[in-house]
Structure 1
Amino acid sequence: MGLNEAPLLFDFETQSSENLTFIPMVVRFNLDRFGLRISLAQWQMLPHEDRKLLARFPVNDDTSIEPNFDHALFEMLRTHANVEPEWFTPEDAPGWTRTDAVPDGVARQAGLAGLPAPTPEQWAQLDPFRRYVLAKLSRKPESNHDFVPAMREFGLAGR
Protein backbone atom coordinates (compact mmCIF):
# COMPACT_ATOMS: atom_id res chain seq x y z
CA MET A 1 0.00 0.00 0.00
CA GLY A 2 1.37 3.38 -0.93
CA LEU A 3 1.26 6.77 0.66
CA ASN A 4 -1.96 8.72 0.97
CA GLU A 5 -2.28 11.70 -1.37
CA ALA A 6 -2.47 14.16 1.51
CA PRO A 7 -1.78 14.05 5.24
CA LEU A 8 -4.49 12.10 7.05
CA LEU A 9 -5.97 14.48 9.61
CA PHE A 10 -9.30 14.24 11.38
CA ASP A 11 -11.46 17.36 11.55
CA PHE A 12 -10.97 17.54 15.33
CA GLU A 13 -7.19 17.77 14.95
CA THR A 14 -7.07 20.11 11.96
CA GLN A 15 -6.86 23.25 14.10
CA SER A 16 -3.96 21.98 16.19
CA SER A 17 -2.28 19.96 13.46
CA GLU A 18 -3.10 21.98 10.36
CA ASN A 19 0.46 23.21 10.14
CA LEU A 20 1.67 19.94 11.69
CA THR A 21 3.06 21.71 14.75
CA PHE A 22 1.75 18.85 16.89
CA ILE A 23 2.11 15.15 16.14
CA PRO A 24 -1.06 14.04 14.32
CA MET A 25 -2.83 10.80 15.17
CA VAL A 26 -1.73 9.12 11.94
CA VAL A 27 1.91 9.59 12.95
CA ARG A 28 1.21 8.55 16.54
CA PHE A 29 -0.40 5.37 15.22
CA ASN A 30 2.63 4.53 13.12
CA LEU A 31 5.04 5.37 15.94
CA ASP A 32 3.13 3.03 18.24
CA ARG A 33 2.88 0.17 15.76
CA PHE A 34 6.62 0.31 15.04
CA GLY A 35 7.55 0.77 18.71
CA LEU A 36 9.11 4.21 18.25
CA ARG A 37 8.92 7.25 20.48
CA ILE A 38 9.86 10.82 19.61
CA SER A 39 9.40 14.02 21.55
CA LEU A 40 7.36 16.96 20.39
CA ALA A 41 10.60 18.95 20.18
CA GLN A 42 12.11 16.32 17.86
CA TRP A 43 8.96 16.36 15.71
CA GLN A 44 9.13 20.13 15.45
CA MET A 45 12.78 20.00 14.35
CA LEU A 46 11.70 18.23 11.17
CA PRO A 47 10.99 20.42 8.14
CA HIS A 48 7.30 20.87 7.38
CA GLU A 49 7.58 18.79 4.18
CA ASP A 50 9.02 15.85 6.14
CA ARG A 51 6.24 16.07 8.73
CA LYS A 52 3.73 16.19 5.88
CA LEU A 53 5.27 13.07 4.31
CA LEU A 54 5.16 11.13 7.61
CA ALA A 55 1.47 12.09 7.97
CA ARG A 56 0.76 10.51 4.56
CA PHE A 57 1.77 6.96 5.57
CA PRO A 58 -1.09 4.44 5.73
CA VAL A 59 -2.72 3.40 9.00
CA ASN A 60 -2.82 -0.35 8.58
CA ASP A 61 -1.88 -2.18 11.74
CA ASP A 62 0.22 -4.70 9.81
CA THR A 63 3.81 -3.42 9.88
CA SER A 64 4.76 -5.66 6.97
CA ILE A 65 2.47 -3.68 4.64
CA GLU A 66 4.37 -0.42 4.89
CA PRO A 67 7.82 -0.95 6.39
CA ASN A 68 9.27 2.37 5.28
CA PHE A 69 7.79 4.66 7.96
CA ASP A 70 10.45 3.74 10.49
CA HIS A 71 13.27 4.08 7.94
CA ALA A 72 11.99 7.47 6.77
CA LEU A 73 11.65 8.72 10.35
CA PHE A 74 15.18 7.59 11.24
CA GLU A 75 16.70 9.33 8.23
CA MET A 76 14.74 12.53 8.79
CA LEU A 77 15.69 12.74 12.47
CA ARG A 78 19.35 11.96 11.78
CA THR A 79 19.50 14.56 9.02
CA HIS A 80 17.61 17.40 10.71
CA ALA A 81 17.99 16.80 14.45
CA ASN A 82 21.02 14.52 14.77
CA VAL A 83 18.98 12.18 17.00
CA GLU A 84 17.26 8.80 16.72
CA PRO A 85 13.83 7.82 17.99
CA GLU A 86 13.62 5.81 21.18
CA TRP A 87 12.58 2.15 20.83
CA PHE A 88 9.96 0.35 22.91
CA THR A 89 8.19 -2.99 22.57
CA PRO A 90 4.64 -2.48 21.29
CA GLU A 91 1.82 -4.24 23.14
CA ASP A 92 0.92 -7.59 21.62
CA ALA A 93 -2.82 -6.98 21.84
CA PRO A 94 -3.67 -3.39 22.78
CA GLY A 95 -7.24 -2.83 24.01
CA TRP A 96 -8.28 -0.90 20.92
CA THR A 97 -7.78 -4.01 18.74
CA ARG A 98 -10.54 -5.84 20.60
CA THR A 99 -13.99 -5.43 19.13
CA ASP A 100 -15.89 -7.25 21.89
CA ALA A 101 -15.33 -4.71 24.68
CA VAL A 102 -14.86 -0.97 25.02
CA PRO A 103 -11.55 -0.23 26.81
CA ASP A 104 -11.92 1.04 30.38
CA GLY A 105 -10.03 4.23 29.53
CA VAL A 106 -12.51 5.11 26.78
CA ALA A 107 -15.47 4.52 29.11
CA ARG A 108 -13.75 6.61 31.84
CA GLN A 109 -12.98 9.44 29.39
CA ALA A 110 -16.60 9.43 28.19
CA GLY A 111 -17.74 9.70 31.82
CA LEU A 112 -15.39 12.64 32.42
CA ALA A 113 -16.93 14.33 29.38
CA GLY A 114 -20.50 13.65 30.50
CA LEU A 115 -21.08 11.34 27.54
CA PRO A 116 -22.31 7.77 27.46
CA ALA A 117 -19.53 5.34 26.62
CA PRO A 118 -19.76 3.74 23.19
CA THR A 119 -21.71 0.51 23.29
CA PRO A 120 -19.81 -2.66 22.39
CA GLU A 121 -21.74 -2.68 19.10
CA GLN A 122 -20.72 0.90 18.28
CA TRP A 123 -17.13 0.13 19.26
CA ALA A 124 -17.03 -2.94 17.01
CA GLN A 125 -18.34 -0.91 14.05
CA LEU A 126 -15.52 1.64 14.25
CA ASP A 127 -12.58 1.01 11.96
CA PRO A 128 -9.39 0.02 13.81
CA PHE A 129 -7.74 3.44 13.36
CA ARG A 130 -10.71 5.24 14.97
CA ARG A 131 -10.67 2.77 17.87
CA TYR A 132 -6.94 3.49 18.24
CA VAL A 133 -7.58 7.25 18.26
CA LEU A 134 -10.23 7.06 21.00
CA ALA A 135 -8.03 4.76 23.09
CA LYS A 136 -5.02 7.06 22.60
CA LEU A 137 -7.04 10.10 23.62
CA SER A 138 -8.17 8.16 26.73
CA ARG A 139 -4.84 6.95 28.06
CA LYS A 140 -4.52 9.57 30.83
CA PRO A 141 -6.89 9.86 33.81
CA GLU A 142 -7.70 13.53 33.20
CA SER A 143 -10.09 14.87 30.57
CA ASN A 144 -8.68 15.19 27.04
CA HIS A 145 -9.83 18.25 25.06
CA ASP A 146 -9.91 16.28 21.78
CA PHE A 147 -12.00 13.37 23.09
CA VAL A 148 -15.47 14.95 22.72
CA PRO A 149 -14.75 16.35 19.23
CA ALA A 150 -13.43 12.91 18.19
CA MET A 151 -16.53 11.18 19.58
CA ARG A 152 -18.69 13.63 17.63
CA GLU A 153 -16.71 13.20 14.45
CA PHE A 154 -16.94 9.41 14.75
CA GLY A 155 -20.72 9.58 15.20
CA LEU A 156 -20.68 8.53 18.85
CA ALA A 157 -21.93 11.78 20.40
CA GLY A 158 -24.46 14.41 19.37
CA ARG A 159 -23.33 17.77 18.05
Structure 2
Amino acid sequence: MGSHHNSASHCFAFEQDFIGNWRCIPLCVRRKLDLIGLKLKLNHWLALSQAQRQELVDWPDASDALEQLREHLRCCTSGMPEGMAKDLLPIVDAAWQQADRCPAEVLTAAATRGVGLTPAQWSGMSELERFALCKLVRPGHDHHNLEAAFSEVLA
Protein backbone atom coordinates (compact mmCIF):
# COMPACT_ATOMS: atom_id res chain seq x y z
CA MET A 1 0.00 0.00 0.00
CA GLY A 2 1.02 3.57 -0.46
CA SER A 3 1.49 4.71 3.12
CA HIS A 4 5.22 5.00 2.48
CA HIS A 5 4.55 7.93 0.14
CA ASN A 6 5.32 11.35 1.47
CA SER A 7 1.97 13.15 1.33
CA ALA A 8 3.69 16.53 1.18
CA SER A 9 5.48 16.20 -2.14
CA HIS A 10 4.69 12.87 -3.80
CA CYS A 11 3.49 13.11 -7.39
CA PHE A 12 1.54 10.28 -8.96
CA ALA A 13 2.48 8.44 -12.12
CA PHE A 14 -0.95 9.34 -13.56
CA GLU A 15 0.13 12.99 -13.30
CA GLN A 16 3.31 12.35 -15.31
CA ASP A 17 2.01 14.10 -18.39
CA PHE A 18 2.44 17.43 -16.66
CA ILE A 19 5.20 16.71 -14.15
CA GLY A 20 8.40 18.53 -15.04
CA ASN A 21 6.69 21.37 -16.86
CA TRP A 22 4.03 21.63 -14.13
CA ARG A 23 1.36 22.99 -16.44
CA CYS A 24 -1.32 21.91 -13.97
CA ILE A 25 -1.33 22.14 -10.19
CA PRO A 26 -0.40 18.66 -8.96
CA LEU A 27 -2.52 16.99 -6.31
CA CYS A 28 0.18 17.21 -3.63
CA VAL A 29 0.14 21.01 -3.98
CA ARG A 30 -3.66 21.12 -4.14
CA ARG A 31 -3.78 19.20 -0.85
CA LYS A 32 -1.49 21.78 0.78
CA LEU A 33 -3.67 24.60 -0.60
CA ASP A 34 -6.75 22.96 0.96
CA LEU A 35 -4.91 22.60 4.26
CA ILE A 36 -3.96 26.29 4.36
CA GLY A 37 -7.24 27.53 2.89
CA LEU A 38 -5.89 29.36 -0.13
CA LYS A 39 -7.44 29.58 -3.59
CA LEU A 40 -4.55 29.47 -6.03
CA LYS A 41 -5.90 29.77 -9.57
CA LEU A 42 -4.27 28.07 -12.52
CA ASN A 43 -3.30 31.54 -13.83
CA HIS A 44 -1.47 32.22 -10.57
CA TRP A 45 0.31 28.88 -10.86
CA LEU A 46 1.29 29.46 -14.48
CA ALA A 47 2.65 32.92 -13.63
CA LEU A 48 5.15 31.32 -11.24
CA SER A 49 8.53 30.22 -12.53
CA GLN A 50 9.44 26.53 -12.90
CA ALA A 51 11.65 26.86 -9.83
CA GLN A 52 8.85 28.42 -7.79
CA ARG A 53 6.42 25.68 -8.80
CA GLN A 54 8.98 23.03 -7.91
CA GLU A 55 9.47 24.73 -4.55
CA LEU A 56 5.71 24.43 -3.86
CA VAL A 57 5.77 20.74 -4.75
CA ASP A 58 8.71 20.19 -2.40
CA TRP A 59 7.25 22.33 0.40
CA PRO A 60 6.74 20.30 3.61
CA ASP A 61 3.29 19.97 5.18
CA ALA A 62 4.05 20.36 8.90
CA SER A 63 1.78 23.01 10.41
CA ASP A 64 4.49 25.67 10.82
CA ALA A 65 5.64 25.05 7.24
CA LEU A 66 2.06 25.43 6.01
CA GLU A 67 1.77 28.77 7.85
CA GLN A 68 4.88 29.93 5.99
CA LEU A 69 3.48 28.58 2.72
CA ARG A 70 0.36 30.73 3.07
CA GLU A 71 2.47 33.85 3.62
CA HIS A 72 4.82 32.91 0.79
CA LEU A 73 1.97 32.45 -1.70
CA ARG A 74 0.21 35.65 -0.68
CA CYS A 75 3.49 37.43 -1.22
CA CYS A 76 4.13 35.74 -4.60
CA THR A 77 0.64 36.46 -5.93
CA SER A 78 0.08 39.98 -4.57
CA GLY A 79 1.63 41.62 -7.62
CA MET A 80 -0.06 39.38 -10.19
CA PRO A 81 -2.72 40.67 -12.64
CA GLU A 82 -5.03 37.98 -11.21
CA GLY A 83 -4.72 39.62 -7.78
CA MET A 84 -3.61 38.00 -4.55
CA ALA A 85 -4.65 34.40 -3.96
CA LYS A 86 -7.91 34.45 -2.01
CA ASP A 87 -8.38 33.06 1.46
CA LEU A 88 -10.74 30.15 1.94
CA LEU A 89 -11.51 28.27 5.11
CA PRO A 90 -8.80 25.69 5.74
CA ILE A 91 -10.15 22.18 5.23
CA VAL A 92 -10.76 20.28 8.46
CA ASP A 93 -12.27 16.81 8.82
CA ALA A 94 -12.54 16.28 5.07
CA ALA A 95 -13.42 12.80 3.79
CA TRP A 96 -9.79 12.28 2.73
CA GLN A 97 -8.63 13.02 6.29
CA GLN A 98 -10.77 10.17 7.67
CA ALA A 99 -8.76 6.98 7.43
CA ASP A 100 -11.52 4.96 9.06
CA ARG A 101 -14.35 5.80 6.67
CA CYS A 102 -14.18 5.52 2.89
CA PRO A 103 -16.63 7.94 1.23
CA ALA A 104 -19.54 6.42 -0.68
CA GLU A 105 -18.58 8.25 -3.90
CA VAL A 106 -15.17 6.61 -3.87
CA LEU A 107 -16.61 3.15 -3.18
CA THR A 108 -19.17 3.61 -5.96
CA ALA A 109 -16.52 4.82 -8.41
CA ALA A 110 -14.36 1.82 -7.50
CA ALA A 111 -17.25 -0.63 -7.87
CA THR A 112 -18.33 0.71 -11.27
CA ARG A 113 -14.75 0.14 -12.45
CA GLY A 114 -14.64 -3.37 -11.02
CA VAL A 115 -12.23 -2.33 -8.28
CA GLY A 116 -12.72 -3.87 -4.86
CA LEU A 117 -11.78 -1.31 -2.23
CA THR A 118 -11.66 -2.59 1.35
CA PRO A 119 -11.72 -0.50 4.53
CA ALA A 120 -8.21 -1.80 5.27
CA GLN A 121 -6.97 -0.56 1.89
CA TRP A 122 -8.54 2.86 2.47
CA SER A 123 -7.01 3.20 5.94
CA GLY A 124 -3.66 1.96 4.62
CA MET A 125 -3.43 4.76 2.08
CA SER A 126 -1.47 7.93 2.63
CA GLU A 127 -3.55 11.04 3.16
CA LEU A 128 -2.50 12.24 -0.28
CA GLU A 129 -3.76 9.03 -1.92
CA ARG A 130 -7.13 9.44 -0.21
CA PHE A 131 -7.13 13.11 -1.25
CA ALA A 132 -6.45 12.15 -4.88
CA LEU A 133 -9.32 9.65 -5.02
CA CYS A 134 -11.76 12.05 -3.33
CA LYS A 135 -10.85 14.81 -5.79
CA LEU A 136 -10.97 12.57 -8.85
CA VAL A 137 -14.45 11.15 -8.14
CA ARG A 138 -16.12 14.53 -7.81
CA PRO A 139 -18.94 15.22 -10.29
CA GLY A 140 -17.80 17.40 -13.14
CA HIS A 141 -14.20 16.37 -12.64
CA ASP A 142 -12.33 14.89 -15.56
CA HIS A 143 -12.52 11.21 -14.67
CA HIS A 144 -10.04 9.87 -17.19
CA ASN A 145 -7.37 9.59 -14.51
CA LEU A 146 -9.53 7.62 -12.14
CA GLU A 147 -8.74 4.13 -13.46
CA ALA A 148 -5.05 4.97 -13.43
CA ALA A 149 -5.37 6.41 -9.93
CA PHE A 150 -7.08 3.29 -8.56
CA SER A 151 -4.53 0.95 -10.10
CA GLU A 152 -1.62 3.06 -8.88
CA VAL A 153 -2.91 3.61 -5.35
CA LEU A 154 -3.97 -0.02 -4.92
CA ALA A 155 -0.86 -1.46 -6.57
Q: Specify the alignment match of 1:71 in structure 2.
A: 71
Compute the displacement of 1:106 (Å).
Answer: 1.2
Distance 1:65 1:22 in 2: 23
Q: Specify the alignment match of 2:15 in structure 1.
A: 13
Distance 1:82 1:135 in 2: 28
**Which amino acid in the other structure matches residue 86 of structure 2?**
E
- TM-score using structure 1 length: 0.80
Give the stretch that moved more between structures: 132-141 or 14-23. 132-141
Q: Specify the alignment match of 1:45 in structure 2.
A: 47
Distance 1:117 1:85 in 2: 39
SS at match of 2:64: coil
Contact 1:26 1:57 in 2 (8 A): no
Q: Specify the alignment match of 1:153 in structure 2.
A: 152
Question: Residue deviations 1:25-60, cap 9 Å, x none?
Answer: 1110110000111211221111121111111112x4
Compute the displacement of 1:108 (Å).
Answer: 2.9
Contact 1:38 1:86 in 2 (8 A): yes
Contact 2:44 2:80 in 1 (8 A): no
Contact 2:59 2:65 in 1 (8 A): no
Distance 1:40 1:23 in 2: 7
SS at match of 1:134: helix
Q: Specify the alignment match of 2:25 in structure 1.
A: 23
Distance 1:102 1:85 in 2: 31
**Which amino acid in the other structure matches residue 122 of structure 2?**
W
**CA RMSD between the two structures:** 2.3
Distance 2:140 2:104 in 1: 11
Q: Specify the alignment match of 2:56 in structure 1.
A: 54
- TM-score using structure 2 length: 0.82
Query: Is structure 2 residue 95 aligned with structure 1 residue 95?
Result: yes
Query: Is structure 2 residue 131 aligned with structure 1 residue 129?
Result: no
Sequence identity (%): 26
Give aligned pairs, total.
148
Change in 2 beyond 3 A, CA 1:47/1:86: same
Compute the displacement of 1:81 (Å).
Answer: 4.4
Distance 2:10 2:27 in 1: 8
Instruction: Tell me which of the two structures has the higher relative contact order, counting C-alpha pairs closer than 8 angstroms and 6 or more residues apart.
Output: 2
